[in-house]
Amino acid sequence: MAASRGIFVALNVLAVVEAVRGAQLTSHPLQHTSDALWAGLRSEVQGRLYEGVPMAKSCFDGPDSEECRVVRATYGDETSRSDVFGGYINTQWETCQVTGEQCLLDYTNPNSTLPTSPPNKCRLGSISKYYIDVRSPKDITKAFKFSEKTGVPIVVKNTGHDYKGRSSAPSSLALWTHNLKNMSYHPSFVPSGCARTKSSPGMTVGAGTQWGEAYAFAEAHNITVVGGSDKNVGVVGGWLQGGGHGALSNVMGLGVDRVLEYKVVTPDGVLRTANMCQHQDLFFALRGGGGGTFGVVTEATILASPQVTLQAVILIFPRPPTGTQSNITRDMFTVMVNNTVRWAEEGWGGIANGFTAIYINPLLSPEQAAVSMKPLIDFGNNASARVIVTEFPAGERTLTSLPTASSL
Ligand SMILES: *[C@@H]1O[C@H](CO)[C@@H](O)[C@H](O)[C@H]1NC(C)=O
Ligand SMILES: *[C@@H]1O[C@H](CO)[C@@H](O)[C@H](O)[C@H]1NC(C)=O
Ligand SMILES: *[C@@H]1O[C@H](CO)[C@@H](O)[C@H](O)[C@H]1NC(C)=O
Ligand 2 atom at minimum distance from 205 CA: 13
Question: What's the sign of the alpha-carbon dihedral 156, 161, 166, 171?
Answer: positive
Where b means 16+ CB within 10 Å and e means fewer, 219-229 reads bebebbbbbbb
Q: Which residues pair with 205 in a beta bridge?
A: 183, 300
Q: Would you state the pLDDT for residue 16?
A: 43
**CB 243, CB 254: distance < 8 Å:** yes
Ligand with the closest atom to the CA of 72: 1
Ligand 2 atom at minimum distance from 209 CA: 13
CA of 222 relative to ligand 3 center, distance in Å: 6
What is the Cα–Cα distance from 408 to 394, expressed in whole angstroms?
24
Q: Would you state the pLDDT for residue 405?
A: 53
Q: Which helix (H) or strand (E) holds 25?
A: helix 2-26
Nearest-CA residue for atom 2 of ligand 2: 182
What is the Cα–Cα distance from 218 to 229, expressed in whole angstroms?
15
What is the Cα–Cα distance from 283 to 295, expressed in whole angstroms?
11
CA of 376 relative to ligand 1 center, distance in Å: 38
State if residue 222 touches ligand 3 by the CB under 6 angstroms criterion.
Answer: yes
Ligand 3 atom at minimum distance from 308 CA: 5
Listed as own residue / partner, the contacts of 96-99 with beta carbons closer than 8 Å and 24 or more positions apart are: 96/123, 96/124, 96/125, 96/126, 96/170, 97/126, 97/165, 98/170, 99/125
Question: 321: which residues sit within 8 A by CB, 6+ positions away?
Answer: none
Ligand 2 pocket: which of 136, 182, 183, 210 to mutate (most atoms within 8 A of CB): 182
**CB 78, CB 111: distance < 8 Å:** no
State if residue 299 touches ligand 2 by the CB under 6 angstroms criterion.
Answer: yes
- Centre a 10 Å sphere on the Cβ of residue 166 and count the other Cβ atoms it contains: 18
State if residue 276 touches ligand 3 by the CB under 6 angstroms criterion.
Answer: no
Q: Would you state the pLDDT for residue 14?
A: 42
State if residue 366 touches ligand 3 by the CB under 6 angstroms criterion.
Answer: no
CA of 182 relative to ligand 2 center, distance in Å: 6
**Cα first-last separation, the chain:** 70
Q: What's phi and psi for 130, nearest 5 deg? A: -130, 155
Number of residues that this document lists for the chain: 408
Q: Would you state the pLDDT for residue 398?
A: 66
Q: Tens of pLDDT along the chain (408 residues)? A: 344 444 433 444 444 444 444 445 457 999 999 999 999 999 999 999 999 999 999 999 988 899 999 999 999 999 999 999 999 999 999 999 999 999 999 999 999 999 999 999 999 999 999 999 999 999 999 999 999 999 999 999 999 999 999 999 999 999 999 999 999 999 999 999 999 888 999 999 999 999 999 999 999 999 999 999 899 999 999 999 999 999 999 999 999 999 999 999 999 999 999 999 999 999 999 999 999 999 999 999 999 999 999 999 999 998 888 888 888 889 999 999 999 999 999 999 998 888 899 999 999 999 999 999 999 999 999 999 999 999 998 877 666 666 665 555
Among the listed residues 191, 174, 179, the one whose alpha carbon sits nearest the alpha carbon of residue 234:
179
Q: What's phi and psi for 383, nearest 5 deg? A: -100, 20
Q: What's phi and psi for 333, nearest 5 deg? A: -70, -25
State if residue 84 touches ligand 3 by the CB under 6 angstroms criterion.
Answer: no
What is the Cα–Cα distance from 240 to 141, expressed in whole angstroms?
22
Ligand with the closest atom to the CA of 63: 1
Q: Which residues pair with 173 in a beta bridge?
A: 130, 154
Ligand 2 atom at minimum distance from 204 CA: 13
CA of 8 relative to ligand 3 center, distance in Å: 70
What is the Cα–Cα distance from 163 to 144, expressed in whole angstroms?
25
CA of 304 relative to ligand 3 center, distance in Å: 13
Q: Which helix (H) or strand (E) holds 204?
A: strand 200-206
What is the Cα–Cα distance from 256 to 196, expressed in whole angstroms?
22
Q: Which residues pair with 155 in a beta bridge?
A: 174
State if residue 393 touches ligand 3 by the CB under 6 angstroms criterion.
Answer: no
Among the listed residues 132, 125, 135, 123, the one whose alpha carbon sits nearest the alpha carbon of residue 38:
132
CA of 308 relative to ligand 3 center, distance in Å: 9
Nearest-CA residue for atom 11 of ligand 1: 111
Ligand 1 atom at minimum distance from 109 CA: 13
Q: Which residues pair with 392 in a beta bridge?
A: 310
In order of 143, 222, 226, 393, the CA distances from 397 in angstroms are 40, 9, 15, 9
Ligand 3 pocket: which of 307, 397, 398, 399 to mutate (most atoms within 8 A of CB): 307
Q: Would you state the pLDDT for residue 321?
A: 85
Among the listed residues 306, 303, 309, 304, the one whose alpha carbon sits nearest the alpha carbon of residue 363:
309
Ligand with the closest atom to the CA of 75: 1
Q: Would you state the pLDDT for residue 166?
A: 94
Q: DSSP letter at 120?
A: -
Ligand 1 pocket: which of 111, 113, 114 to mutate (most atoms within 8 A of CB): 111
What is the Cα–Cα distance from 317 to 332, expressed in whole angstroms?
10
**CB 144, CB 44: distance < 8 Å:** no
Cis peptide before 137 (omega within 30 of 0): no
